[in-house]
Chains A and B, each alone.
Chain A
Amino acid sequence: MNILKKLSLSVSALAMVASAASAEISDGVVKIGVLTDMSGTYSDLSGEGAVVATQMAIDEFGGTVAGAPIEIVSADHQNKADIAANKAREWGDTQQVDAFAELVTTSVALAVFEVAKQQNKIALVSGAASSPLTSDACIPTGLHWTYNTRALAVGTGSAIVKEGGDSWYFLTADYAFGEALQGDVTKVVEAEGGTVLGAAKHPFPASDFSSFVLQAQASGAKVVGLANAGADTINAIKAANEFGLVAAGQKVAGLLVFLTDVHALGLDTAQGLQMTVSFYWDLNDETRAWSQKFFEKTGKMPTGVQAGTYSSVLHYLRAIEATGSDDTDTVLAKMREMPVNDAFATNGVLRTDGRMVHDMFLAEVKSPAESSGPWDYLKIVRTIPGEEAYGPLSESNCPTK
């Protein structure tokens, strides 16, 4: 036996040991595909930051799980469902992507759900907000992590009705998410004894909100609910201030406001605004430490969507670590079995309808005097227990729950 033959034998023996270690990991690699809005309306609240957050979860594992390397791929879906679905299909079919992450914009999440269902892959939804994602539109492998429109309605909606804001008018983004949010808030308002006077649907995205603000003014409602997000919310709030809606005694309720929106508006305009958040960097030592790391990489404090993306990917990897497998059903079962504990959630529970139930927070934007500097924007008014925010499992219409 010459030396070359010996060498090749020992190399193949080594290779066998290595493949045994990741025997249960398909293709020998765990690949996570982050599909998000990198350049549009939602790119600040998600975008690059969501990719960084995913990478932070991977880094906590030192880049390998169950003996296999973890890889990340990302793409800009431009908030377009067709682009997102094509990319997801390509990733799943040809690039061995095991899980899709982030998926902001409801229409995108719905389209990727379709692909995930066909390919039996896990979809970790963070940015999309519509509650039907774990109800009528649910799929067995679709997990909804950060928040949903029901939780937002329970938080901000009921708080405002309790303060006497019992008649509402909505400015609603004209797509699935706006409709879901308006629907969920309407339910809460009516359950608390309030009334909804009407709604104006605006194109998504829109830049000029003056005419919609005028219609809201004419409605005479005490509360103008903004069933939109991102730049749309910012511009709607600006228009409401400019046209004297707030000065005349009507209240503006941002139903989905992100930390980045407050940052962009400035405290002068945003102060006093109530918002429901899934995460705030300044909640406790753990959130501060994690957020500081995020800040060092991006120059911004994380939004709930970004922290939620981190948490969902981390939990997914933990389940792979625990089972030694990336088989969808095995990993899913483990994810449901383990409580979610990280910088984002404490004792979160993953339900069979795909909903990750965790506490939410009702927050109020500080006044410039109360704030000690950039990113010190929110004070937490109330912790909303997960069960209250997301409702019982029996409320979900998910057929596979």
Chain B
Amino acid sequence: MLTDLLGIPPQVLFGQLMLGLINGAFYAVLSLGLAVIFGLLNIVNFAHGAFYMLGAFATVAVTQYLGIGYWGALIVAPLVVGAFGAAIEYFLLRRLTGVDHLYGLLLTFGLALVIEGSFVKMFGASGLPYPVPAQLTGGVNLGFMFLPWYRGWVVVASLAVCIATWFLFERTKIGAYLRAGTENPKLLQAFGVNVPLLTTLAYGYGVALAAFAGVLVAPITQVSPLMGSNLIIVVFAVVVIGGMGSIMGAVVTGLAMGVIEGLTRVFWPEASATVIFMVMAIVLVLRPAGLFGKTA
């Protein structure tokens, strides 16, 4: 009988699977940005959560001060925050090329603390509310759960961005340059390609992806200075499981971890905060390079 699966009513199970998919879509976009940055710049970008938070705050700001609303923010916020990220790469991170990864990690971690700290000072920890856009209020009853239209839109928008990114990196000339730049930047430079510009743009793009996730989440949770720091560790775990730098790995693992977390919430709610790290530990033991990573 489907009425009770291991004592769990099916509507709860399907509901949690659906929610897992939605959360997974967020993980996918966020870990995708991290994977792009690590893959191309070899930087462990600890400021990713802060950029995600900046994306959400930019959404509130452009709505309030430019009056262009949610749909405009979907484009403007990632552009603005992405440009900010590119500036950070140009003025700060660039100085760390050639030194150990750890320095990039420390710099971005410090940046995250400074950005988050100043936002707590300015806006307080409870943050600001942001309404769901009028076109996407309400929802549909799927029988096993009530699916808000907005959450459905989040999945569609996230997957579209993931596919576009994959296409950009794997199927276009720019993507080919970027990949070549990771393999051998000196050789690529010798061919007349402006590699430093390419890295700045790549970092800006990764940051813009984080900001895009920030725009998507703004109507769902409170726009708060600490929203990124709560999430970033989980997203790092997702990237490690998928394989540092693997674009496909980041997307697939993001979705899968969302679903696993959703299932854990049904069967063992208290463990839902740690299940991703357990998976990470197991994967690291069995495949140190991650599920989709190339072994060095």
Contacts and interface: CB of A to CB of B under 8 A. Distances in A.
Binding between chains A and B: yes
Interface of A: 39-45, 47, 174, 200-203, 205-208, 210-212, 214-215, 217-218, 230-231, 234-235, 238-239, 242-244, 248, 260-261, 263-266, 268-269, 300
B124 A260 contact: yes
Contact of A201 (B23, B150, B270): B270
A300 B126 CA distance: 13
Interface in B121-141: 124-129, 131-132, 138-139
B149 to A, nearest CB: 10
Contacts of A243: 139, 146, 148
A217 B221 contact: no
A242 B19 contact: no
A3 B65 CA distance: 72
A208 B221 contact: yes
Contact of A231 (B20, B150, B222): B222
Contacts of A217: 145-146
Contacts of A300: 124
B221 A214 contact: no
B9 interface: yes
A265 B224 CA distance: 12
Contacts of B117: 39
Contact of A40 (B125, B128, B231, B273): B125
A39 B120 contact: yes
Given A201-B270, A238-B221, A43 B148 contact: no
Which of B9, B148, B221, B230 has the largest count of A CB atoms less than 10 A from its CB? Answer: B221
Which of A234, A248, A300 has the largest count of B CB atoms less than 10 A from its CB? Answer: A234
A207 B120 contact: no
B129 A40 contact: no
Nearest to A264: B126
A264 B129 contact: yes
Nearest to A230: B126
A266 B128 CA distance: 9
Interface stretch (B10-18, B77-85, B238-246): B10-18
Given A202-B269, A218-B9, A234 B145 contact: no
Given A203-B272, A248-B146, A260-B124, A214 B220 contact: no
B215 to A, nearest CB: 16
Given A207-B227, A234-B126, A263-B126, A215 B148 contact: no
B287 interface: no
A215 B12 contact: yes
B265 interface: yes
A203 B268 CA distance: 12
B214 interface: no
Which of B9, B23, B265 has the largest count of A CB atoms less than 10 A from its CB? Answer: B265
10 contacts: A39-B117, A39-B120, A39-B125, A39-B226, A174-B270, A205-B230, A214-B16, A238-B222, A264-B127, A265-B222
